[in-house]
Structure 1
């Protein structure tokens, strides 16, 4: 069960609905980078990149890429009017100081308590942890965007993460191609279901226990 381009857009678009005017937002690599192009009309946020940009914009039009302008993942971006550049140490200081309102990250696994594993699979090559640990611990809200299951068809929404953790109990919201789940003190709350899936589909493909409220929203 892979995530096609349409589903990637839906996941990123749903994440963009969490943005509020004036927020400082950090986007991780993968699906999260798409959020910059899907900000709701009338909402103005400041995108932060840990390689030293405050005021990053969406992706450039084909042929208009600037080889010297990229996000932390090395992908070409644009900047908005009023954007500023800084040393990466200053960009990380903003994170550690708690200046990031929301970070939107990818994940390998998330537990029902909000534990996050997103930086390494043991035995496989890894480029480095980057800013994941600082962002997971210091951002005011952590949102995860990911496939609901891995390539083997196993749930990535776990009772307990099997992979090395990035941070404990940090994730507040999980958005997949199947559902939107909120981490609460009582457990993992199923808030919304993505069409064409059903409650039964989500429960069957989720290892973690889910709280099922009386009313669940269905997204087209």
Structure 2
């Protein structure tokens, strides 16, 4: 079965970020989205440690140790970019000033509940960061994750078994297999990104799905 690579997933997410959007890219895989944004669009990338106007990752050898994102990764700053106190940064997040955030996840429920900060395992290190603030503060919450765990279990579940970050907050899920919207009617598959059919995707996911691919094609 063909799967999208993480870079291909990031490129797919980036294609849905519109001109003029203010966007936070969560720690980990979502930061790859910055490398695939359309350079002809003016998009403002925000980081909760107090940066607005980030660009793609720097070329090797051009890293600046004083210019990092919340995940401690080196970033670049576009013309007009700015730095500020992290308290101001969180005020932006909590005040509803971000159009989109892209977060990783351990699980997303069929109702759009998000679990991404702790697995609940006794030896796991909790890492909530700004995830709760982003989940409730951003106007649109996109999740970017592999569809299945390493054990082959679906990360899209009927109800989260891990500690929940935010309730009914996820709008769209991007995986290495599909693009799925969380709607009042249920999980609507907008796009299948692999060589499998809808029925096989439902079987792998393990929760009811709505086939919206035909409507999208029309």
Deviation >2 Å, runs of 4+: 195-198
Residue of structure 2 aligned with 1:31, choices 26, 29, 32:
29
Say which SS state the counterpart of residue 149 (structure 2) adopts.
Answer: coil
Q: Name the residue aligned to 1:124.
A: 123
The separation in 2 between residues aligned to 1:70 and 1:214, in whole angstroms, is 39
Mark the CA change 1:197 to 1:7 in structure 2 (over 3 Å): closer, same or farther: farther
Aligned residue for 2:199? 200
The TM-score normalised by the length of structure 1 is 0.93
Partner of 1:49: 47
Per-residue CA deviations over 1:127-161 (Å, capped at 9, x if unaligned) read 53100000000100000000101111100000111
**Alpha-carbon spacing, 1:75–1:203, altered in 2? closer, same or farther (3 Å):** same
Q: How many Å separate the matches in 2 of 1:210 and 1:124?
A: 34
Residue 73, structure 1, aligned to residue 61, structure 2: no
Q: Size of the alignment, in residue pairs? A: 216
CA contact (8 A) 1:111 1:208 kept: no
After TM superposition, give the deviation of residue 121 of structure 1 in Å.
1.1
Unaligned runs of 5+ residues in structure 1 are none
Query: Which of 156-165 and 116-125 deviates more?
Result: 116-125
2:169 aligned partner: 170
Structure 2: runs of 5+ lacking an equivalent: none
CA distance in 2 between partners of 1:172 and 1:153 (Å): 24
What's the RMSD between the two structures over aligned residues?
Answer: 1.8
Q: Name the counterpart of 2:92.
A: 94
TM-score, length basis structure 2: 0.94
Equivalent of residue 113 in structure 1, options 111, 114, 126: 111
| Contact 1:116-1:161 within 8 A present in 2 as well | yes
CA distance in 2, matches of 1:73, 1:33: 9
**Residues 214 and 60 of structure 1, relative CA distance in 2, 3 Å threshold:** closer
> Partner of 1:205: helix, strand, or coil?
helix
